[in-house]
Amino acid sequence: MNKPNPNTSATDRTRLDKWLWAARFYKHRSLATEAVEGGKVQLNGIRVKPAKDVKIGDRVEIQLAEARFVLTVTGIAEKRGSASVAQGLYTETEESRSAREAQREERRFVTTPGDDLHGRPTKRDRRLIGRVKGSF
């Protein structure tokens, strides 16, 4: 017999910002609220307010930095639990997962600007810069 999850609500719906926090996409609930208000989160393809109710079966799209998650809600939690409980609250679509993997591979081979710079120029570097600029 399955044990009832103590974090699952009896009404099977909760606020969007609270769900994002419980699912561990944001460290603080206020960050989740700001993300929803800033348009970084959509519910069923629509930009909504943080107090909008989320229910099982809803589609949530989250933009975190460069990563975009497309999720289907599979569970509701009122409280923030462990990471294993949080992962049970959603399933990520296969398209979303493959797009993030492709993006990760692209970033792996691209060097970021300024990677070769290591702090302030040395005396030798300053002399070379002066010669190139013609100030010496």
Rounded Cα gap, residues 66 and 46, in angstroms: 20
pLDDT tens readout for residues 72-116: 999 999 889 999 999 999 999 999 999 999 998 888 888 777 777
Spell 43-75 as b/e; 16+ CB within 10 A means b: beeeebebebebeeebebbbeeeeeebbbebeb
Q: Is the predicted pLDDT of residue 5 greater than 50, yes or no? A: yes
User: Which tokens belong to 133?
Assistant: 């600029």
Q: Which two tokens stand for residue 22?
A: 């419980």
DSSP lists the bridge partners of residue 71 as 60, 92
Two tokens, residue 117: 């710079």
At residue 47, does pLDDT exceed 50?
yes
Q: Is the pTM of this model over 0.85?
A: no
Residue 89 φ/ψ, nearest 5 degrees: -85, -10
Amino acid at 21: W
Portion of the chain with pLDDT greater than 90, in percent: 65
CATH architecture of 8-100: Roll (3.10)
For the record, the structure tokens of 100 come out as 């993030």
Tell me, rounded to whole angstroms, the distance of Cα 15 from its chain centroid. 18
The pLDDT of residue 2 is 39
CA dihedral 52, 84, 28, 91 (to 10 degrees): -40
